[in-house]
Amino acid sequence: MQASSLIERIDAALPQTQCTKCGYDGCLPYARALATEGEAINRCPPGGPEGIRLLAEILDTPELPLDPECGEHVPLCIAVIDEAHCIGCTLCIQACPVDAIVGANKLMHTVLADRCTGCDLCVAPCPVDCIDMIPATHEWTPDHAARARERHQRRQQRLSGQHHESSALAARTLANKAPIATGMGGDSALKQKIIADALAKARARRRKNEPGQTN
> Does the pLDDT value for residue 208 go beyond 80?
no
Tell me which architecture the domain covering 77-195 has in CATH.
Answer: 2-Layer Sandwich (3.30)
- Between 43-57, 68-82, 163-177, the lowest mean confidence (pLDDT) is in 163-177
pTM, entire model? 0.76
Q: Using an 8 Å Cβ cutoff, are 15 and 31 in contact? A: no
Same fold, 3-70 and 77-195: no
Residue spans of the domains in the chain: they are 3-70, 77-195
- Alpha helices per DSSP H over the chain: 3-13, 27-36, 48-59, 91-95, 142-160, 169-177, 188-209
pLDDT-derived band of residue 180, with 50, 70 and 90 as boundaries? Answer: very low
Distance (Å, whole) CA 207 – CA 135 = 28
Say which residues have a Cβ less than 8 Å from residue 137's Cβ, sequence separation at least 6: none
Which CATH entry fits the domain spanning 3-70: 1.10.3470, 1.20.58, 1.10.15, 3.90.1690?
A: 1.10.15
Q: What is the pLDDT of residue 136?
A: 96
